[in-house]
Chain A
Amino acid sequence: MTEEKLDIMKTALGGEYRTRLNRFYKQRRKWEPADPKVILSFMPGSVVEYRVSVGDRVRRGDVLLLFRAMKMNNVIAAPADGVIRALGAQVGANVPKNAPLIEFE
């Protein structure tokens, strides 16, 4: 029998189990709820135009900005009522994925 040094895994049945952990398990990140106060870019692109300014009070569904990505001016709307605290990107400048576009109070 080959001797292999195994990892330890806690199981739902209680107790610990000697087993081999794979890369996905080891690299798992702790879950965090998404921050409802920030709107992030869903992919790399650029802001075509902001339709709101800092301090504006917006309602759910109001158009906040147009975001150019995938050959499309994507309409980004407010997910909930709120007040704009900051505009995260410069109009026309390329931003990476998950860059803050809007911050709410």
Chain B
Amino acid sequence: MSEENKITDLKQRIEKIEEGGGPKAMEKQKAMGKMTARERIEALLDPGTFHEYDMFVKHDSIDFGMQGKELPGDGVIIGTGDIGGAPVAVFAQDFTVAGGSLGFRHALKITKIMDYALNMRIPLIGINDSGGARIQEGVNALAGYGEIFFRNTLSSGVIPQISVILGPCAGGAVYSPALTDFVFVVENISKMFITGPEVIKTVLGEEISAEELGGAQVHSEITGNAHFFASSEPECFRQIRDLVSILPASNTKPAEKIAPEPPLQKYDISKIVPNDPAEPYDVRDVIRSLVDGSRFIEVMELFAANIVVGFARIHGETVGFVANQPMVLAGVLDCDSSDKAARFIRFCDSFNIPIITLEDLPGYLPGIDQEHAGVIRHGAKMLYAYSESTVPKITIIMRKAYGGGYIAMGSRHLRSDFVFSWPQAEIAVMGAEGAANIIFKKEITEAENPAEMRKLKIAEYRSKFANPYVAASKGYIDSVIEPGQTLQMIRHALKVAATKVAGRPAKKHGLPPF
């Protein structure tokens, strides 16, 4: 073959592999409302930056009629490319090739790009669209999953890992996404479960659709397995690009600093939080009033919405927010909101992102279901996460800080570096009504007019304790500030804490109350 012919030959080989499962299978993929694996990579990365590896890899299984069967790329595409000019590692399963099933070579391609990502300290993005293990390959397919899980675990806290669920992801396959930092799902396309509707019907006799069992809405709202919900694939890829751009590429490198921008004028912090402690508001508006361009990337928007977590920039630098949301369930802490906050705090700490806590909560959610669901161990995760984290931590007590909630929400006692309070804050061990009933029980029951006495004692307790000055007199609060001074205080605190050195006793690893 002449050199020219060799190049033509190469081009033909590439063309053949890029066809994936062939035009028919591609059409079927599109008929399901799904993009093809290559279109997805194109939509995710900066145009023209994708570089593919292991294109010519072939499976070597011979059992059950697999010998000689052509599976282009073995059903997965791997490579590197850019997002906003910064390199990332990507794999995308191709459903048109043997249903994207995971065989041993397919898994080896994935683990190869995972090793690249870890060694090069760049983010990993995995696009999942697979019918599951390639059963013809037996235990080799299972070995493949295991190798992936192991690498997910090793990479955890070193590079950001993102999973995108764009099709079925069932059985063992779900555990790779579960081990990654952020899971993206798309309405009507994503399906995740350990055992599918058919098995549930066989074993338990219960009928449920795949969508109701493990669709995008379910994982975003009920299970908390997904972190970002989109109504279309293009929207999903925009979300991923926004997230990757605000995160550091690894735990050894800070996130890129961009030109600072003021918050939008329409968010006036002194007008968002109502004076009446019983009036709800959207705490995300408070966040928007503080951050560059009022742009806030919310993580797990639909799950445990009584707490808000997410990323934004202050003076061009990435910060993480943890905020009680009075608009949902009065902003209480419960099992799910504790889990959500704890995981987010640990992500920020792993990747050196300062944490800003906005506090306004009536306490923990009372209830038999909460107690039986283990609110003790779930709630403890948050205490653990705050205590363990050594990144700069700044807490603003805006309104209510009662009981265990006061301690849990980034208090001085869990080593927040700066704790500021607004003058309208109520910091106490419990609400005035409850406290007065206990402390002044005798006075109230023995009074001529118990109702009148109760009112009097509630007022007494409130004026004495429902303010920030008792906590400030002990040094638990550094400053009592006007709401309008909040951003200035945060910016100064971030500057001071930028060179923070904080240690932990040497250990193999701690034991968070998982």
**Chain A interface residues toward B at CB < 8 A:** 10-12, 14, 30-31, 33, 42-43, 68-75, 97
Contact = CB atoms under 8 A, between A and B. Distances in A.
Most buried by B among A10, A68, A73: A73
A30 B212 CA distance: 14
Given A12-B195, A43-B365, A75-B280, A70 B203 contact: no
B431 A71 contact: yes
Contacts of A14: 202
Contacts of A43: 329, 365-367
A70 to B, nearest CB: 4
Contacts of B208: 31
Given A11-B203, A71-B277, A71-B400, 14 more contacts: A10-B203, A10-B204, A31-B208, A43-B329, A43-B365, A43-B367, A68-B278, A71-B330, A71-B362, A72-B280, A72-B331, A73-B280, A74-B280, A97-B367
Contacts of B367: 43, 97
A70 B202 contact: no
SS class of chain A's interface: helix, strand, loop or mixed?
loop
B15 interface: no
Interface in B434-483: none
B206 interface: yes
Given A30-B206, A31-B206, A74-B280, A69 B330 contact: yes
A73 B274 CA distance: 12
Interface in B327-343: 327, 329-332
B199 interface: yes
B326 interface: yes
By Cβ-Cβ distance, the 6 closest A-B pairs, closest first, are A70-B330, A72-B330, A71-B362, A10-B203, A70-B362, A12-B199
B279 interface: yes
Nearest to A69: B330
A105 to B, nearest CB: 23
A74 B365 CA distance: 14
Contacts of A75: 280, 327
Given A12-B195, A12-B203, A33-B212, A72 B326 contact: yes
A101 to B, nearest CB: 15
Contacts of B204: 10
Given A31-B208, A33-B212, A43-B367, A73 B279 contact: yes
Contacts of A12: 195, 199, 202-203
Interface string B242-286: 000000000000000000000000000000000001111000000
A30 to B, nearest CB: 6
A10 B202 CA distance: 9
Contacts of A68: 278
Contacts of B206: 30-31
5 contacts: A12-B195, A31-B208, A43-B367, A71-B330, A97-B367
Contacts of B279: 72-73
A42 B329 contact: yes
A68 B329 CA distance: 10
Contacts of B330: 69-72, 74
A12 B330 CA distance: 41
Contacts of A30: 206
B212 A73 contact: no
B42 to A, nearest CB: 34
B332 A70 contact: yes
Contacts of A11: 203
Nearest to A28: B204
Nearest to B434: A71
Interface string B323-363: 00011011110000000000000000000000000000011
A29 to B, nearest CB: 10
A32 to B, nearest CB: 10
Nearest to B203: A10
A43 B277 CA distance: 19
Contacts of A71: 277-278, 330, 362, 400, 431
Interface in B277-313: 277-280
Interface string B398-435: 00100000000000000000000000000000010000
Contacts of B278: 68, 71-73
A28 to B, nearest CB: 8
Interface in B151-185: none
A69 B331 CA distance: 11
A74 B329 contact: yes
Contacts of A33: 212
A43 B367 CA distance: 8
A43 B334 CA distance: 13
Interface in B209-225: 212
A70 B280 contact: no
B203 A72 contact: no
